Amino acid sequence: MTIREGSPTRRALLLDEMGIGPVWHARRQGMPAELVAPDAPDVAADVSALQNATHHELAGKNPSEFATPSSLGSTAANSESAPSALSVESSPVSNEEIARMDWTELQAAIATCTRCALCASRTRTVFGVGGASADWLFIGEGPGTNEDRQGEPFVGPAGKLLDNMMAAMDMRRGEKVFITNIVKCRPTDASGKDRAPTSAEAGACLPYLERQIALMQPRMLVALGKTAAVSLLRLDPATSLGSLRGRLHRHAGRPLAVTYHPAYLLRMPRDKAKSWQDLCLALEAEAGIAANADGDADS
Ligand code: SF4
């Protein structure tokens, strides 16, 4: 039997392979009740409201909680959480220079970056994969062992799961979707194992991601995991992922959905259904934004 790309049957098979059920289908109009997470029923239903929403996640936050290198003073540099993370004085590229780069310059700058200490242990930087004008941007935490070797994000089992999740959304790696991480170099602990990036490392690398977003202008951002979410939203690192799911946020004027990291889902497969709900929420909103954009172009 030939199963057409984008067909409900194919999606059901992909979701079944991911261990997800029952199946939620993204609809193109309105907000199906089953897509709205029970802990946040009041957001994301209305795309126009979404577009006008204020960036409330930033309200009341102290910018120093997530400082970028140029704003990090001695306090951050001396903090125990990231004492070796920054080498701001030796930074060859400033935030202002990054903000003026084109795509090619950005790739070159990242490839030789020394803005934080992660440069010392990396094999390769991981810029991201996909087109420079993708509609969707998936953002993970940081490269792991395989990614560090291959220079590509989300390879290995977690990458395969992400590919399956995207396939269920009628997306494919490299097509209308860009995949990257909060940090472009692999963070490791003292024993050489993968770890999450510190806030300082994320802050050092974030200007690159911000420039990628500014150049790419994606319609929808998806934060994969807590590190990506709290970094992009400048939230307290102790914020729980569960408190961020089920609604859309705003980042750089764009909608941001939050869901679990595929590596977490491999460990906790029972949460795959929740992740699919998050992705359906994002699909729904992106479809509305695309429709509005088409309407504006036609008028
Ligand atoms: S993680 Fe980012 S800021 Fe740090 S060295 Fe790598 S590219 Fe530069």
pLDDT digits (tens, 9 = 90+) for 79-107: 333 333 444 445 579 999 999 999 999 99
pLDDT of residue 227: 97
Consecutive H or E run containing 290 = helix 272-298
Compute the C-alpha angle 158/265/44, nearest 5°. Answer: 110
Question: Is the CB of residue 86 less than 8 Å from the CB of residue 69?
Answer: yes
64 pLDDT above the threshold of 50: no
Confidence bin at 10 (pLDDT 50/70/90) = low
Q: DSSP class of residue 53?
A: -
Q: Kindly give the distance from the C-alpha atom of residue 215 to the centroid of ligand 1, in angstroms, as a whole number.
A: 19
1 pLDDT above the threshold of 60: no
Q: Kindly give the distance from the C-alpha atom of residue 74 to the centroid of ligand 1, in angstroms, as a whole number.
A: 20
Give the N- to C-terminal CA distance of the chain in Å, as an integer: 43
Of 219, 172, 237, nearest to 14 by C-alpha is 172
Question: To test the ligand 1 pocket, which listed residue (205, 208, 227) has its Cβ within 8 A of the most ligand atoms?
Answer: 205
Instruction: Tell me the mean pLDDT in the region 190-197.
Output: 95
Residue nearest atom 6 in ligand 1 by C-alpha distance: 185
Q: How far is CA 225 from the centre of its chain?
A: 8
Residues 6+ apart with CB under 8 A from 147: 126, 153, 154, 155, 156, 181, 186
Distance CA 25, CA 33 (A): 11
SS3 279: helix
Of 123, 125, 115, nearest to 85 by C-alpha is 115
Residue nearest atom 2 in ligand 1 by C-alpha distance: 205
What number does the ligand 1 atom closest to the CA of 110 have? 7
pLDDT digits (tens, 9 = 90+) for 212-253: 999 999 999 999 999 999 999 999 999 999 999 999 999 989
pLDDT digits (tens, 9 = 90+) for 154-173: 999 999 999 999 999 999 99
Residues 6+ apart with CB under 8 A from 115: 69, 86, 87, 88, 91, 93, 204, 205
Beta-strand (E) ranges in the chain? 136-140, 177-181, 220-224, 249-251, 254-259
Question: Is the CB of residue 294 less than 8 Å from the CB of residue 258?
Answer: no
192 pLDDT above the threshold of 60: yes
Question: Which tokens belong to 196?
Answer: 């999450």
List beta partners, residue 50: none
Confidence bin at 293 (pLDDT 50/70/90) = confident
| Domain residue extents for the chain | 43-51+63-298
What number does the ligand 1 atom closest to the CA of 119 have? 5
pLDDT of residue 175: 87
The ligand 1 site (C-beta within 6 Å) comprises: 110, 113-116, 118-119, 125, 183-185, 201, 204-205
Amino acid at 131: G
CATH number for region 43-51+63-298:
3.40.470.10
78 pLDDT above the threshold of 80: no
